[in-house]
Chains A and B, each alone.
Chain A
Amino acid sequence: MAGTIRAQYPTSLRTVLVPCTGRVGADVVMRAFGRGADGVLVVG
């Protein structure tokens, strides 16, 4: 959707593909924080 509306996003953003937002558990989010991410955005 972000691509369809030609939305711009910063180059420091990294995207991880998930089959469904249901798959995003605490382990995935905490791993990202543990690796130094400033924030985690769950979009779906």
Chain B
Amino acid sequence: MLEANRHPNINIMTYSEVVGVDGYIGNFKVKVKRKTRYVDETTCTGCGQCTDVCPIYVPNYFDENLSARKVIDISFAQAVPAVYDIVRESCVECFACVDACDQQSIDFSMKDEIVEIEVGTIIVATGWDIYQGPDYGYGQYENVITQIQLERILAPNGPTYGHLVRPSDRKRPTKILFINCVGSRDVSKNPYCSVVCCNLSVKNSKLIKSEHPDTKIVVCYIDMRNCGKDYEEYYRRARDAGIVFMKGLVGKIEEDPLTKNLKVQMEAVGADTIIEEEFHLVVLSSASLPSKGTDEIARVLNMEKSADGFLKEYHARLDPISTKVPGIYLAGSCQGQKGIAYAVGQARGAASAASIPMRKGEYTMELIRAKPNDERCAKCYKCIEACPYSAISVNEKGNLVVDLINCRGCGTCAALCPSKAIELTYFRDDQYMAYIDELLPLEQ
């Protein structure tokens, strides 16, 4: 990230939102809302004096709300750019930070600004979010956490500096249960498989086991799906290390009000018994969801979404990088959840795909386009409303004008026109009729 930020041809706009996109491949005009941090990025040196004087603590979203941050703070130590920001909704406006700042970088009168940029191609990489439903007492019992929260606990720069402790009493748990497929592979919630969680369970349980061999770890699963290069071997090593993988799901979890331990009833498939056990920590492999702004970005870029809510690719198997909109490409989990290796592969593919038309400087398109006939047109303008690509407009004479680049030649306008005043080139009405007549010859 730091390297990319230093590159002369790369301009990173953090804390920003794409609010509008006009134009077409080669000539996109993008409106970006740069949300204000109330801290001047050009003069802030990242010294941290403002954080020292700030009296208000808020949950730290980077640490999955497991630790606290000040209202004015840096989002995380390695953030690029290393600039502080203010959580305005929790700020009491004591202005202690304004007085403390030597650079006078903090300005509470700063407003969001809209920047317009022109680009040739767009790569969407908006990622994913984790499912946080109330399953298995999540949100109710302190010691039921998600895999992502465990990742933060195990991270050297996390809330506990990498020491394994559980949230309720900050003691090391010695009996840990992992539950896979929480909120995924469930037709009443998310029917799809979240792909990465099986490997995540193996990785995190193995990390804990190698650090604390006395920990008893059980992983409950529907199916272990460790597909891909080296993953099956990884899973086997985890089993050899003494981690118990148990087919079957958890039926009931209850918290012991005194110890905050969790009493769990599990069904062991095959053994045909109900197991009751007490665990110190329960980790949920929760489903991956499309990131929160996915609906917005799909609307702004005129892109389609798949049934699962992720952004839709041109072809699920043959072209998972392009979209139906020429010049817009997908990379990573915004298209569907995937592991690191696949995300890297797709990102590099998207970078190559985007660079090809830009390097060429030209774009080849099909000639099937809508063509209006001014003499026949009754000027009802129904086609303008019906066009899914907003490619039809009216000129000063009231005649129809088709934007030949935005028009995809779908023919919705031609099918709808009551006076047959608009038709598709190379797919003309009389061509169709002749086609049908030839296929269905009248019997003599």
Instruction: Give residues in A with beta carbon < 8 Å to B.
Output: 14, 16, 18-20, 22-25, 27-28, 31-32, 35-37
Contact = CB atoms under 8 A, between A and B. Distances in A.
Interface in B371-414: 388, 408-412, 414
B439 interface: yes
B442 A36 contact: yes
Interface stretch (B12-20, B348-356, B424-432): B424-432
A20 B432 contact: no
Given A19-B368, A22-B412, A28 B424 contact: no
B370 to A, nearest CB: 10
A35 B415 contact: no
Contact of B415 (A25, A31, A32, A37): A25
A22 B436 contact: no
Nearest to B413: A22
B439 to A, nearest CB: 4
A22 B439 contact: no
Nearest to A4: B317
B424 A16 contact: no
Interface of B: 368, 388, 408-412, 414-416, 420, 424, 427, 429, 432-433, 435-437, 439-443
Given A25-B416, A36-B442, A20 B411 contact: yes
A35 B442 contact: yes
Q: What is the interface of chain A mostly: helix, strand, loop, or mixed? A: loop
B432 A22 contact: no
Contacts of A20: 408-412
B63 to A, nearest CB: 46
Nearest to B437: A35
Contact of A28 (B409, B410, B416, B432): B432
Contacts, number: 56
Nearest to B423: A23
A18 B411 CA distance: 9
Contacts of B435: 16
A22 B440 contact: no
B431 to A, nearest CB: 11
Contacts of B440: 14, 32, 35-37
Contact of A19 (B388, B411, B436, B437): B411
A20 B411 CA distance: 7
A23 B424 contact: yes
Given A18-B411, A25-B415, 14 more contacts: A14-B440, A16-B436, A19-B411, A19-B424, A20-B408, A20-B409, A20-B410, A22-B410, A22-B411, A22-B412, A23-B410, A24-B415, A28-B415, A32-B436
Contacts of B437: 31, 35
Task: Name, among A14, A22, A36, the residue most crowded by chain B CB atoms within 10 Å (CB to CB).
Answer: A22
Nearest to B435: A16
A33 B410 CA distance: 23
Given A14-B440, A35-B436, A36-B440, A19 B416 contact: no
Contacts of A32: 436, 440
Nearest to A20: B410
A26 B368 CA distance: 21
A23 B413 CA distance: 8
Contacts of A19: 368, 409-411, 424, 427
A20 B408 CA distance: 10
Contacts of A14: 439-440
Contacts of B442: 35-36
Contacts of B441: 35
B436 A23 contact: no
A34 to B, nearest CB: 9
Given A31-B433, A35-B437, A23 B443 contact: no
Nearest to A35: B440
Contacts of A16: 432, 435-436, 439
